[in-house]
Structure 1
Amino acid sequence: QQIVKWKQEIYRNVIQESKDLYDKYLSINSPNSIVSEKAYSSTRITSSDESIIVAKGSAGAEKINYQFAVSQMAEPAKFTIKLNSSEPIVRQFPPNASGASSLTIGDVNIPISEQDTTSTIVSKINSLCADNDIKASYSEMTGELIISRKQTGSSSDINLRVIGNDNLAQQIANDNGITFINDAGGNKFANVYGKNLEADVTDEHGRVTHISKEQNSFNIDNIDYNVNSKGTAKLTSVTDTEEAVKNMQAFVDDYNKLMDKVYGLVTTKKSKDYPPLTDAQKEDMTTEEIEKWEKKAKEGILRNDDELRAFVEDIQSAFFGDGKNIIALRKLGINESENYNKKGQISFNADTFSKALIDDSDKVYKTLAGYSSNYDDKGMFEKLKDIVYEYSGSSTSKLPKKAGIEKTASASENVYSKQIAEQERNISRLVEKMNDKEKRLYAKYSALESL
């Protein structure tokens, strides 16, 4: 039973390390992702003033030399209402003719009661308007209730309606520079709109292009721009593959470490001299002695394990099972390890990889991380991503089916857990039989003694 528990423990460690590799390098949203275009950029873009604008290129991005003159940041539709937090809100939203005090934002009515404070008004708006992409906050500094869309840009708008309170409508109009008009029912309403980012971009030849964007972060020609404030700043590209090479080297190191562990598990021979310790044996040993013994006892217990061996072989086949792939990867500085004992591992030449990025970063990206619905046309790391997920990505993957993942339904519904449970039932039955036999013998000898 102890050996099965150890097998499950080792399996779960492999599953976790595989998932860690997946999350760190094979998830497109990870900062260390090797399946995103950004991972293959051969240029670095410097900004003369990062408080105004910064930019980062992806694979295939051309070099730039631009001056950005930002005259307007993208802003959401918003308006403010002057409120005194020390005065009852109901006095600042006087009841209308029907006796109710309310504010309508879009098609949502915000009722005002005598118990309301600035804090409860903010909570009401955020709760009632949650589905309308509208948020509210209150500034103690300015004494303003701020109501805005979360979305920026000219397509962002808020419809505001003030019912039966012309003075409040006039105050909002004056404070926000907007105009209310009367609807068919004589109520005041106005539409408030957001603003686009507006900037003039001058290239190295003096040509000026005006851009208008709904967000302050946007992508043009494989370059991500993030505008932080109004002003003028210069963006310039410089050749720099250091970050991409460093990230790839880190991946190779972590990947090889995982492959080394898994291949070691299926090839290490088991020693017959280190069986599991009994409780009685442990009582005569120190903690350090027990740890050393059990480390040796665990070695080789997964030798020739079918699933773990297939895991390594499937990955090796994806990388180096095809002659065309081998040639393509070699041109990028990625080769199969020449050491027979390092099956599945890869060697990495940073200089070759860096040169390939400088020559054609888009080609490097497509070779390694290009996506296709056809498996054979996928980049190498997209194939690796599929394999790692197939073996350890979810509770229904191949390795979890055998050992389970803690804190999921598979923790008990797996091969090893069922084996352990069956062994425990067998032990319980044997103990019960021994106890029954002991009782019978005791009763027999008690009867003899009474003669």
Structure 2
Amino acid sequence: GNFDMEGIIEASMIRDKEKVNKAKQDQQIVKWKQEIYRDIIKESKNLYDKYLNGDSPNSITNKKAYSATRITSSDESIIVAKGSAGAEKINYQFAVSQMAEPAKVTIKLNSSDPIVQQFPPNASGASSLNIGGVNIPISEQDTTSTIVSKINSLCADNDIRASYSEMTGELIISRKQTGSSSEIDLKVIGNDSLAGQIASDNGITFTTDASGTKSAVVYGKNLEADVTDDQGRVTHISKEQNSFKIDNIDYNVNSKGSAKLVSVTDTEEATKNMKAFVDDYNALMDKVYGLVTTKKSKDYPPLTDEQKEDMTTEEIEKWEKKAKEGILRNDDELRAFVEDIQSMFFGDADTIIALRKLGISEHENYNKKGQISFNADTFSKALIDDSDKVYKALAGYSSNYDDKGMFEKLKKIVFEYSGSSASKFAKK
């Protein structure tokens, strides 16, 4: 009769509890893995957005990243310029006589009174403005603020916006686009006094049709400048915009006036940016390869709820840090990510030699797999020697993968692994 029923039940309950704990621990590890993956996706995307996206200011896939010159301006309030790889040196005197302006109409108005009190309509009583083919009726209640919002909502699709300046007491109607091809077709219907004010404020002449409607077209202006080179030759340029590109150089004109632009050899910015990229890239490689190679600690399984109850927050954090170590050891996708990139950069003898001439070589430490050792002096000298060649080797674009520059290839690999919801890491 010494059949230990209680003992059997207890043992079975302990076994059940262990099963539950084991399942919870497995679940915790899966969750941790996903968190680490999300973190790697985020860091890969950051690297991509900062350095591999052509529009980023730090982009290494853009021609500007390989410029071996800096262009100085004697007056930056008038003009500044920035060269790209392959840009010739310049020595220009810029004399800007006219900025590019949008087509624009101003109307002197008092802001508080209804418009029809200031400009009574013709006998018919109804008046309207027609801007670019869009009719804007002027009601008896309309003041400057209501007419501004009317114009902005009705003309939203055709690049026209209105605003009111309290300072000058003017209603301003303008296109966003600058240049002589920017135009506003303006009609004033049923209000000759308003048309008269517009004509005198803007120096325009209306034509009047049989029904009395007054029409005029207002044009924008081009940027006009005379450019004198160091031989004294003068070239006149006329541009639709105040920012433009000529011979691989981006110019930004800020105001009328004269200024001198001179190129000086300077690779500091390009070299500093490349070094920053290499540091960030190496940190990502280090992190990913570290996850693949770190051994798992047998002594730190995920904590059970009961264990947590007897521990401080700090103790739990320390334990979990240990428990997370090595949970992605030999993970296939993470390993493939590092190996794909490493073999792209350093998998081929010719490429290794070509990259070394640009200051980029494989890290000599075997544990730093995929990482780059960067020689700033070599990179800088290569830029001065032939910046266009450096650009083509590292960032030249081709639709054919084998002909792409190294960073265009890197861009493709990083995108495949982390760029979208269909990427290899996202499927984890």
Output the TM-score relative to the length of structure 2. Answer: 0.92
Which residue of the other structure, out of 379, 387, 390, is the alignment partner of 1:364? 390
Q: State the AA in 2 paired with 1:157.
A: E
Which region of structure 1 is more displaced relative to structure 2, 351-360 or 89-98?
A: 89-98
Post-superposition CA distance 1:71-124 (Å, at most 9, x none): 000000001111111221222343344432211111000011122221111111
For 2:286 and 2:47, locate their aligned partners in 1 and report how far apart those are by CA, in whole Å.
Answer: 14
CA contact (8 A) 2:121 2:193 kept: no
How far the C-alpha of 1:60 sits from its partner, in A, is 0.4
For 2:119 and 2:136, locate their aligned partners in 1 and report how far apart those are by CA, in whole Å.
Answer: 11
Match of 2:146 in 1: 120
For 2:51 and 2:77, locate their aligned partners in 1 and report how far apart those are by CA, in whole Å.
Answer: 30
For 2:149 and 2:29, locate their aligned partners in 1 and report how far apart those are by CA, in whole Å.
Answer: 57
Which region of structure 1 is more displaced relative to structure 2, 358-367 or 274-283?
A: 274-283
CA contact (8 A) 1:45 1:56 kept: yes
Which residue of the other structure, out of 336, 353, 356, is the alignment partner of 1:330? 356
How far the C-alpha of 1:269 sits from its partner, in A, is 1.1
Match of 2:34 in 1: 8
5 Å-filtered alignment, 1:143-292, equals: 143-292=169-318
CA contact (8 A) 1:93 1:112 kept: no
What SS class does the counterpart of residue 178 from structure 1 fall into?
Answer: coil
Gaps of 5+ in 1: 403-451
The answer on 1:379 being equivalent to 2:405 is: yes
CA contact (8 A) 2:103 2:218 kept: yes
Post-superposition CA distance 1:232-262 (Å, at most 9, x none): 0000100000000000000000000000010
Output the TM-score relative to the length of structure 1. Answer: 0.88
For 1:339 and 1:257, locate their aligned partners in 2 and report how far apart those are by CA, in whole Å.
Answer: 14
For 1:188 and 1:292, locate their aligned partners in 2 and report how far apart those are by CA, in whole Å.
Answer: 80
CA contact (8 A) 1:161 1:188 kept: yes
**Corresponding residue pairs, total:** 402
Q: State the AA in 2 paired with 1:315.
A: I
What SS class does the counterpart of residue 162 from structure 2 fall into?
Answer: strand
Q: State the AA in 2 paired with 1:259.
A: M
For 2:99 and 2:258, locate their aligned partners in 1 and report how far apart those are by CA, in whole Å.
Answer: 12
Post-superposition CA distance 1:354-410 (Å, at most 9, x none): 0000000011011001100000000000000011111001111110111xxxxxxxx
How far the C-alpha of 1:206 sits from its partner, in A, is 0.6
For 2:139 and 2:59, locate their aligned partners in 1 and report how far apart those are by CA, in whole Å.
Answer: 52
How far the C-alpha of 1:59 sits from its partner, in A, is 0.5
For 1:101 and 1:125, locate their aligned partners in 2 and report how far apart those are by CA, in whole Å.
Answer: 15
Q: State the AA in 2 paired with 1:13.
A: D
For 1:131 and 1:188, locate their aligned partners in 2 and report how far apart those are by CA, in whole Å.
Answer: 24
Post-superposition CA distance 1:208-236 (Å, at most 9, x none): 00000000000000000000000000001
CA contact (8 A) 2:92 2:261 kept: yes
For 2:302 and 2:184, locate their aligned partners in 1 and report how far apart those are by CA, in whole Å.
Answer: 71
CA contact (8 A) 2:395 2:406 kept: yes
For 1:185 and 1:374, locate their aligned partners in 2 and report how far apart those are by CA, in whole Å.
Answer: 63
Match of 2:420 in 1: 394
For 2:190 and 2:141, locate their aligned partners in 1 and report how far apart those are by CA, in whole Å.
Answer: 20
CA contact (8 A) 2:355 2:361 kept: yes
Post-superposition CA distance 1:240-289 (Å, at most 9, x none): 00000000000000000000010011111111111111111112222221
For 1:93 and 1:393, locate their aligned partners in 2 and report how far apart those are by CA, in whole Å.
Answer: 59
What SS class does the counterpart of residue 78 from structure 1 fall into?
Answer: strand
Match of 2:101 in 1: 75
Match of 1:141 in 2: 167
Stretches of 4+ aligned residues off by more than 6 angstroms: none
CA contact (8 A) 2:119 2:193 kept: no
For 1:351 and 1:140, locate their aligned partners in 2 and report how far apart those are by CA, in whole Å.
Answer: 56
Percent identity at matched positions?
A: 88
TM-aligned CA distance change 1:337 to 1:114, over 3 Å:
same
Which residue of the other structure, out of 39, 43, 48, is the alignment partner of 2:65? 39
Match of 2:10 in 1: none
For 1:276 and 1:372, locate their aligned partners in 2 and report how far apart those are by CA, in whole Å.
Answer: 49
